[in-house]
Amino acid sequence: MKENIKNYQVLVDESIRSVGGYWRSISALARLAEEIGELGELLLEKELDYEEVSAEMGDIFVISTCIANQYLSELDKEYKNLGYKPTIESLNEINIFKDVPTAFFNLSKYSGRIARIINHYEGDKVKKPSEIDRSIGSEVSKLHINLIALANLLGIEIFVHIKEVLSNSIKRDKDRFSISHDPITEISLDRFKSTVDNTHCIFSNTAKIWGSYEWDSNLSLEENIDNSLPSLTRFSKCADTEGLDGYVIDINEKRFTENIEGLGEALLRTLTHISKNDPKNANSMGVDLHDPNWQFSYHGVRYFITTFSPIYEKNHPRHTPFDDSVFIFLQPEFSFDHHGIHSGNEKREDVKEAIRTVFKKNGCPYSVDLVKQPIEAFKYLKPETIDGEPITWWNR
């Protein structure tokens, strides 16, 4: 099989994880600016040092791909959207520039666009209502195409040098940095994936999910949630544009796993604390949850909540095999749009029925009556049996 850009995206991910994980994407952005500046210095020399230029280009590719990985971008799809085949063979034939300055100016342009997006997500810059929605994946792909075209113009085999950069990094940086926290590499995400792997939801295998900060048993539930609030806030800012599907919180404390009351307490305390710390001061938990129009929200995003616990039997759709954790999954409402379950889709009920059918065929039926009843909050925590009464978990 021919090598393609997805192979290189995976290679970058595996290499970065092996040396301690990802930096904050805003720090990676600073690195990207540094490397593009260094490439500019080299290109201004009267005689090019092709070895150094090749190394800088490899660095630029790796760092920009790290940023794309952190937002779960699918670069092969993004390349196709731009009209380019994602195979390395095809990319090595790109010929869109006649001179180096034009190629470098375009490289700088897309670097600036990436910076603007990251500043919206992690920095202090507030996005203007008139600004065009641009995703990290689309802008990184454009930067890549221009970088590859520049390399081709200079006769540099960039993908050979990308592998060299990664190999050197693994040798140089192994154990050099402390393990870093990133929502795509958190242990909470790995544990939750083991849970959803056992579910029969037709969308679970392709869902793009971020995970909460690693649980610290020396902290209270609320203090642990505080550690995750920065990444949840960033998720709320970027999820719609980046096509992300959910944020999972792993509450790794045994006492919340022993009965339905414990799960209800964990859910109530988690959502209450998140709500009280809403940057937009909405405090969605501070109102009557019996209101049929109520839905949990944070940072202006409406979320549907799903809970998983070991108290449920193995054939229950909300079962988790971990006996020391409960999981609270926050799914933004627009994620349903991505999967065709939004109210505007004429086939919405067909999609939902297909999901129910798959669950039923696999011995995991669930109550349609509970799903169709109008009180949103009842849907967040399911009874232990399919015919159980709805649980008023918020009255404690």
Kindly report, residue by residue over 60-83, the tens digit of the pLDDT. Answer: 999 999 999 999 999 999 999 999
> Looking at residue 373, what is its pLDDT?
81
> Looking at residue 345, what is its pLDDT?
52
Q: Which helix (H) or strand (E) holds 307?
A: strand 301-308
- How many CB atoms neighbour CB 16 within 10 A? 25
Report pLDDT digits (tens) over 280-299.
Answer: 999 999 999 999 999 999 99
> Looking at residue 364, what is its pLDDT?
61
> Looking at residue 204, what is its pLDDT?
64
Q: How far apart are CA 107 and CA 55, in angstroms?
A: 16
Q: In terms of DSSP bridges, do strands 246-251 and 209-211 run parallel, antiparallel, or are they unpaired?
A: parallel
Phi-psi label, residue 196: left if phi above 0, alpha if psi -120 to 50, beta otherwise: alpha
Q: How far apart are CA 199 and CA 374, in angstroms?
A: 25
Question: Could you tell me if 169 and 186 are in contact, meaning their C-beta atoms sit under 8 angstroms apart?
Answer: no
> Looking at residue 199, what is its pLDDT?
65
**Beta bridge mates, 209:** 246
- Coil, strand, or helix at residue 147? helix
Q: In the chain, which stretches have pLDDT less than 70?
A: 171-179, 198-204, 338-370
- Sheet of strand 209-211: strand arrangement: 209-211, 246-251, 326-332, 301-308, 297-298
> Which among 329, 336, 288, 282 is positioned nearest to 306, based on CA atoms?
329
Q: How far apart are CA 269 and CA 273, in angstroms?
A: 6
The pTM of this model reads 0.91
Owner of token pair 């095809």: 90
Q: How far apart are CA 274 and CA 218, in angstroms?
A: 20
Report how far apart, in Å, the C-alpha atoms of 93 and of each of 110, 283, 388 are. 21, 54, 62
Report how far apart, in Å, the C-alpha atoms of 87 and of each of 76, 137, 233, 364 are. 9, 17, 36, 41
Owner of token pair 């994936």: 193
> Which among 269, 238, 283 is positioned nearest to 127, based on CA atoms?
238
Contacts of 196 (CB under 8 A, 6+ apart): 204, 207
Q: How far apart are CA 132 and CA 194, in angstroms?
A: 37
Q: In terms of DSSP bridges, do strands 246-251 and 326-332 run parallel, antiparallel, or are they unpaired?
A: antiparallel
Token couple for 396? 């404690």
Instruction: Check residue 155 and report its DSSP letter.
Output: T
